Amino acid sequence: MTLILKTNPTSPDPDILRCAAEILRRGGIVAFPTETVYGLGAVIYNEDAVRKVYVAKMRPPDNPLIVHISRESMLEEVAINMPEKAYKLINKFWPGPLTLILPRSPNIPKIVTGGLDVVAVRMPAHPVALGLIDEVGSPIAAPSANLAGRPSPTTAEHVIRDLYGRIDAIIDAGETLYGVESTILNILTDPPTLLRPGAYPVEEIERVLGESIYIPPFARGFAEAERALAPGMKYRHYAPETPLLLVEPRSGDLEAMVSTIRSLAIKHLGVGEKVCIVASAETVDRYRDLPVELLVIGSRRNMFEVAKNLFKTLRRLDDLNCTIGIVEGFEERGLGLTVMNRLRKASKTKIPV
| Binding stretches for ligand TXA (CB under 6 A) | 34, 36-37, 39, 63-66, 97, 99, 101, 113, 116, 118-120, 124, 142-144, 181-182, 184, 195, 230-233
Instruction: Report the run of H or E that residue 276 belongs to, with start and end.
Output: strand 275-279
Name the residue among 164, 127, 143 with its Cα closest to residue 63: 143
What is the nearest approach in angstroms of Mg ion to the Cβ of residue 152? 5
What is the nearest approach in angstroms of ligand TXA to the Cβ of residue 47? 16
Between 54 and 287, CB nearer to ligand TXA? 54
> Considering CB under 5 A, how many residues would be counted as binding Mg ion?
1
Between 7 and 99, CB nearer to Mg ion? 99
* Pair type for strands 293-296 and 275-279: parallel
Q: Determine the Cα–Cα distance for residues 89 and 252; give it in Å rounded to an integer.
A: 32
Residue 39 binds what, of Mg ion, ligand TXA, none (CB under 5 to 8 Å, by partner type)?
ligand TXA
Residue nearest to ligand TXA (CB): 232
Between 54 and 287, CB nearer to Mg ion? 54
Name the residue among 228, 207, 241, 195 with its Cα closest to residue 341: 195
State yes or no: residue 183 binds Mg ion (CB under 5 A).
no
Number of residues assigned to the chain: 353
Between 57 and 85, CB nearer to Mg ion? 57
What is the nearest approach in angstroms of ligand TXA to the Cβ of residue 108? 10
What is the nearest approach in angstroms of Mg ion to the Cβ of residue 63? 9
Provide CB contacts within 8 A for 169, sequence distance 6+.
2, 3, 4, 5, 19, 20, 23, 28, 30, 31
Between 53 and 86, CB nearer to Mg ion? 53
Instruction: Report the run of H or E that residue 24 belongs to, with start and end.
Output: helix 14-25
Contact mark string toward Mg ion, 135..154, x via CB under 5 A: ---------x----------
Name the residue among 248, 231, 42, 57 with its Cα closest to residue 144: 57
What is the nearest approach in angstroms of ligand TXA to the Cβ of residue 290? 35
Angle at 85 between CA 81 and CA 89, to 5 degrees: 115
